[in-house]
Amino acid sequence: MLLSIAILIVGFASLVWSADRFVFGAAALAKNYGIPTLIIGLTIVAMGSSAPEMMVSAQAALAKQTDTAVGNAVGSNITNILLVLGITALLRPLSVSSSTLKREMPVVMLVSLGAWYILSDNYLAFGEGVALMVSFVIFIAAVTIISVKQSKAANAEHDPFVDEACDEVPDNVRTPIALMWLVIGMAILPISSHFIIESATDIAKLFGISDLVIGLTIIAIGTSLPELAACVAGVLKNEDDLALGNIIGSNIFNLLAVLSLAGIINPSSVDPAVSSRDILIMLGATAALIAMSLSIRGSRRINRVEGGLLLAAFLGYQYLIFSTVSA
């Protein structure tokens, strides 16, 4: 067991590192080939924090463990809001000023409702996976087109989230160096994912935990580490919109891109607990995020008390899962 735990920890560390290197290399290479910084920031950089979830879910689906892949997608969304946002708001209250984020908040709820509908019959079909992936491409294209048009408009106000995302695009990186990091990231990502799935499965079998629960807990928390690091770094640099944007963007990507991979690679039945428990928790957490961010009082601020409530809800959710398992 100790060996499996050690492999799991090393796997998560290498997964996060390789995802970062992959995004760095891809963004730098795109920059060198003349792709506008705005487009890179809203696509490659914005998608970067979800790369671990995408790779792990793909690996789980290839191993015929669709419950793990689905649990990773749903559990990561719950973790992003309740744990990551909770910790971030406790460190420093978050102000919401980006029009991009305000526009995407209803989208994340709509996508969450769509995921609930898809999984309500306890089956993830190939066609549903394709539909989610097509929706993902449309979403990325729409956000990019709208942002590009706004940036070109006369007297257009700078959107803080867009500005902060563009600031994350690496500059003055030589093409051979960018290509090197891209290849290294692409090589290590699937290897790390493979060892994570293998070691997590061994641990789950040892403790009698289902594939779904391991995806909802250990794997979801591990693959959410990039969001936690990005959010903490964001608030420490007073980039509140980037911190919140990482969570909202990641949650949309998890349901459209990560969940779709499970359906496309290995269409199969899903544990009924997903539709009867976990999706409902995710919808509640998403509703809480929107309510806190778009307050009818107009404060547009997520304070420490709300952060504490989110963190307490995450701990309560973990207790609910494991008490059900032990029962």
| Cα gap 131→285, rounded to integer Å | 24
**Residue 295: CA count within 13 A, CB half-sphere:** 13
Token pair recorded at residue 21:
């290197």
pLDDT higher than 70, residue 133: yes
* Residues 299-305: contacts with CB under 8 Å, at least 24 apart: 300/95, 300/96, 300/97, 301/93, 301/94, 301/95, 301/96, 302/85, 302/89, 302/93, 302/94, 302/96, 302/244, 303/89, 303/93, 304/89, 304/90, 304/93
The pLDDT score that the predictor gives to residue 31 is 81
> Could you read off the pLDDT of 148-190 as tens digits, one per residue?
777 666 555 565 666 666 777 788 889 899 899 989 988 888 8
Q: Which three-class secondary structure state does DSSP give residue 268?
A: strand
Average pLDDT, the chain: 84
Token pair recorded at residue 194:
């493979």
> Could you read off the pLDDT of 36-93 as tens digits, one per residue?
776 776 677 667 777 888 888 898 999 899 999 999 999 999 999 999 999 999 988 8
| Cα gap 145→155, rounded to integer Å | 18
Q: Which residue has the higher pLDDT, 159 or 217?
A: 217
Interior CA angle at 191 toward 188 and 193, to 5°?
A: 105
| Cα gap 216→71, rounded to integer Å | 5
- Where in 202-295 does DSSP place strands (E)? 268-269
| Cα gap 23→49, rounded to integer Å | 9
The pLDDT score that the predictor gives to residue 136 is 92
| Cα gap 70→74, rounded to integer Å | 6
| Cα gap 140→327, rounded to integer Å | 43
pLDDT higher than 60, residue 298: no
Q: Which residue has the higher pLDDT, 244 or 116?
A: 116
What is the bridge-based pairing of β-strands 301-302 and 94-95?
Answer: antiparallel
91 Rama sector, left if φ>0, alpha if ψ -120 to 50, beta otherwise:
alpha
pLDDT higher than 90, residue 16: no
